[in-house]
Structure 1
């Protein structure tokens, strides 16, 4: 009996094993689906799918020497690469097409060692050949000589010193060169495609990036497909579709209906709509973008530093920022450098004039204007909310009558640049390197340009700003010099700091690995470790 029982049990066990084995081998689709669901829930990236991204403006050209708008660069970044890129924190540079680089002692020669495994996307005039140093020389010299926006100023020549090595020569030392090289205007492109297409190259961009142009329906949509010979980490997505939706409300509606996976430049009440939608997520972080109110430092009452300080003390900046940004998207700024810049110092925030209307009245009286005065504030239509609140505050707190001069962009830029605006409200967005904010907005050499239309000039500040780009490439040492300059600038009160805007996007929760960048860049696949994917 005992032996028979063991035999029966053994036969039963074998039968169960065979049944389980048959189920496993005969139901692969079910097992695969279970594994896929398990991978999704555990956060393991999945391949496949097309990411649909909304752009708020229509790209006119993707030619790196002709593009002028950030919305054009959003597409260009997916199709082509630069020598170096910023890390995710925008605090330092990391390799891209260049594996490594070194700077000469006189800071006039930058030597780049290039990757030898990079291939262009196939185009009309080349079949996807290898990228070499000759392509880098061609692309960078083309930018230095022909860029409509002067995106590589200071570069005199590029020398090929090996099949995969180049030297970039600049006329005067400029530690901000690497920041310039991250610009989409300095992507590397094949000469054959540029010359073959001629004026039409901007509609047929070819590069070395993770995606290539598949179809471009003007004024509507740009479709990209994965570049299978991309040198970096293989993109998880099959493609990306950029849809042009200029109306912000329509952008949000498209996101909520599922016609978009990512909606960009989300502002105002649309931020709240996205927050309350269980399928969506609002991403928002301080950007490299400032709004400020310039005070004429050369002419009129505001030429007196005491008047400028009085106006600042009579300005309730928090009230302005909250009034303009009722649903968030900005915070008060403290100085002429955004918080996301590596040169920013929280220690300097205490130097910003505090809101004190009574002290402001005394200062204005001491300056010879006990009964206030009349002035004009130049601004664009979009910034009228800022101007209206400021206008009311000036009348109430100082009896200063401010006339709002709402003008179109051409008139605004011309009036301000020539120093003919008593006051003006402007905005500035650029790289994390303080050079692109402080030199452009406060150096004497920039008087007559839009950035320093206020006419601010201080020889000590000029010297510090020049030293910060000519003495060293070390960021810590450069930051110290910029902070010394900022301390002087804040004490001179050349303008009123209003807000530090946020970069924002609404995304469908099935989108994974996507984040907003403080420089407003849309990053889908990058050497910085980003590789967006979608839950299927």
Structure 2
């Protein structure tokens, strides 16, 4: 673990992220631990804050809800610690043998939950699938030119140029059994090397995991872990209050007083890498015109909306990725609230009487309807009529992927703690995520990706976000805290900045 590892360690000082250990679950109360429940009662229910459109990590590698679950079932070559520095997982070590050749030594003695041994052939097959699917991780993986299984415990990646960001991206490439690389059905309920196995999945309802008793590492303390996909905010709070749920992945701000009043519950907001964006379909008229996009941005009083809906749990963004990630620097000349200026800009673009558009939102994201309602009201004030289209996670993903929308709002996260993950992955021409393409940006992103000098990379990202502020391909709205509520019977629960919880350490007490 040589040059790239050093680069990540150099960046770590600039990445101000935090992990929380929920007080009341560990720490001060550890001096008088409560009695642990017997094994047959170690059954925990978690209500996540994101939808789960699929369990196929290769098809939806960046879906937060999918990753929250599958990070406990499938594993990657590397994982990221609380400072976003790569650490060994299925690989025990790695080194750059040349500036463009990265070699991994794989962990020996690892088996999948069905008893099959894990080898480099499984890594090759999984990479084949992730790359062949050309899903949302494809832009970040495009620097890879080839990869080989040199022997059962050695795997090598070759790249088209030096890169300082690849290891972080590889933390998202989950490894399944190589013989199933083209089997969509298998990947819909895959067998992994992680501490849990999938026992049932009902779309838009629940996912149930059971402890993997053959796990190569320390066995999970929970016997079962159920992800209950509740979308109604009041129903989530009720489930926590009556003990049907042990942990809520997110509590919206207006429910804070209710949750804080529960004597048996701990609520702790902490910094995260999650943020919310609004994207324009840049390929669809009239949103092809940056004047129209800037006008719609200028019509929104984001600081007031964010403060009224989220209080201290969120803050308006001043760049296109969250400030807690490296390289997410403040953009110059970001549009600000100016309804008169918005009207004038619309008229200049040829829409003096306003325009009509729709906006797509995912019903699994708590409070999104309230946020969009505030936007619709302020757009109406400048003559823009916007129709919300609320959809369940599966339908939303289908329309979103097909670009069947004028605008879309959704949460995202800079999971690797590096601006490259958000800026280069989402906004380069090849990604084609929102019909936006600026070759000048692509050149800046490429130079930043290939550099291992933090100062040089920061300067390049500064140029990039300044261009994006002018183009206004979308609106970076606000970054959030992770507001997790848990019963005090839940022990050893830590929430990383990625919000991908390692449930293997968690257990329940009386």
TM-score if structure 1 supplies the norm length? 0.72
* 61, 66, 88: which one aligns with 2:82: 88
1:113 aligns with 2:105: yes
- Separation in structure 1 between the aligned mates of residue 464 and residue 87 of structure 2, nearest angstrom: 28
Shift of the 406–45 alpha-carbon distance from structure 1 to 2, 3 Å rule, reads same
1:337 corresponds to: 321
- Separation in structure 2 between the aligned mates of residue 225 and residue 370 of structure 1, nearest angstrom: 59
* 127, 149, 157: which one aligns with 1:140: 127
Q: How far has the Cα of 1:375 moved from its partner?
A: 2.2
Shift of the 302–252 alpha-carbon distance from structure 1 to 2, 3 Å rule, reads same
Q: How far has the Cα of 1:274 moved from its partner?
A: 1.7
Aligned length: 462
1:119-176 deviations in Å (ceiling 9; x for gaps):
322x2xxxx2542223322332233234655557434443122332110234565544
Shift of the 129–387 alpha-carbon distance from structure 1 to 2, 3 Å rule, reads closer
- Separation in structure 1 between the aligned mates of residue 169 and residue 370 of structure 2, nearest angstrom: 34
Q: How far has the Cα of 1:41 moved from its partner?
A: 3.6
Shift of the 342–313 alpha-carbon distance from structure 1 to 2, 3 Å rule, reads same
1:480-523 deviations in Å (ceiling 9; x for gaps):
42233223433555554422244433211222332334434232
1:507 corresponds to: 486
TM-score if structure 2 supplies the norm length? 0.75
Shift of the 437–199 alpha-carbon distance from structure 1 to 2, 3 Å rule, reads closer
- Separation in structure 2 between the aligned mates of residue 297 and residue 103 of structure 1, nearest angstrom: 40
Structure with the bigger percentage of helix: 1
Shift of the 191–467 alpha-carbon distance from structure 1 to 2, 3 Å rule, reads closer
- Of structures 1 and 2, the one with the larger relative CO (CA 8 A, separation 6+) is 2
* 236, 249, 261: which one aligns with 2:234: 249
- Separation in structure 1 between the aligned mates of residue 241 and residue 213 of structure 2, nearest angstrom: 32
2:424 corresponds to: 439
User: Counterparts of 1:404-415 in structure 2 under 5 Å?
Assistant: 404-407=386-389, 409=396
Shift of the 411–480 alpha-carbon distance from structure 1 to 2, 3 Å rule, reads same
* 177, 182, 191: which one aligns with 1:190: 177
Shift of the 202–444 alpha-carbon distance from structure 1 to 2, 3 Å rule, reads closer
- Separation in structure 2 between the aligned mates of residue 483 and residue 534 of structure 1, nearest angstrom: 47
Q: The residue matched to 1:78 in structure 2 has which SS?
A: coil
1:206 aligns with 2:206: no
- Separation in structure 2 between the aligned mates of residue 71 and residue 56 of structure 1, nearest angstrom: 7
1:465 aligns with 2:465: no
Q: The residue matched to 2:500 in structure 1 has which SS?
A: coil
* 149, 159, 170: which one aligns with 1:160: 149
- Separation in structure 2 between the aligned mates of residue 85 and residue 256 of structure 1, nearest angstrom: 34
Q: How far has the Cα of 1:465 moved from its partner?
A: 1.2
Q: The residue matched to 2:169 in structure 1 has which SS?
A: helix
User: Counterparts of 1:130-529 in structure 2 under 5 Å?
Assistant: 130-146=117-133, 153-154=141-142, 155-171=144-160, 175-183=164-172, 186-191=173-178, 194=180, 200-202=185-187, 205-213=190-198, 215-216=199-200, 218=202, 222-267=207-252, 269-285=254-270, 286-292=272-278, 294=280, 303=289, 312=297, 315-323=300-308, 325=309, 329-345=313-329, 348=330, 351-355=333-337, 360=341, 364=344, 368=348, 372-380=352-360, 385-393=370-378, 400-407=382-389, 409=396, 421=406, 424-427=407-410, 429-430=412-413, 431=415, 432-446=417-431, 449-451=432-434, 453=435, 455=436, 457=438, 459-469=439-449, 471-473=450-452, 477-490=456-469, 493=472, 495-525=474-504
Shift of the 445–53 alpha-carbon distance from structure 1 to 2, 3 Å rule, reads closer
Structure 2 unmatched runs, 5+:
1-27, 363-367, 391-395
* 65, 79, 96: which one aligns with 1:71: 65
Q: How far has the Cα of 1:387 moved from its partner?
A: 4.9
Q: How far has the Cα of 1:96 moved from its partner?
A: 1.0
- Whether the 8 Å CA contact 1:157–1:168 is kept in 2: the answer is yes
- Separation in structure 1 between the aligned mates of residue 236 and residue 451 of structure 2, nearest angstrom: 45
- Whether the 8 Å CA contact 1:283–1:507 is kept in 2: the answer is no
Of the structure 1 ranges 504-513 and 154-163, higher mean CA displacement relative to structure 2 is found in 154-163
- Whether the 8 Å CA contact 1:379–1:412 is kept in 2: the answer is no
Q: The residue matched to 1:240 in structure 2 has which SS?
A: strand
- Separation in structure 2 between the aligned mates of residue 149 and residue 111 of structure 1, nearest angstrom: 25
Shift of the 465–250 alpha-carbon distance from structure 1 to 2, 3 Å rule, reads same
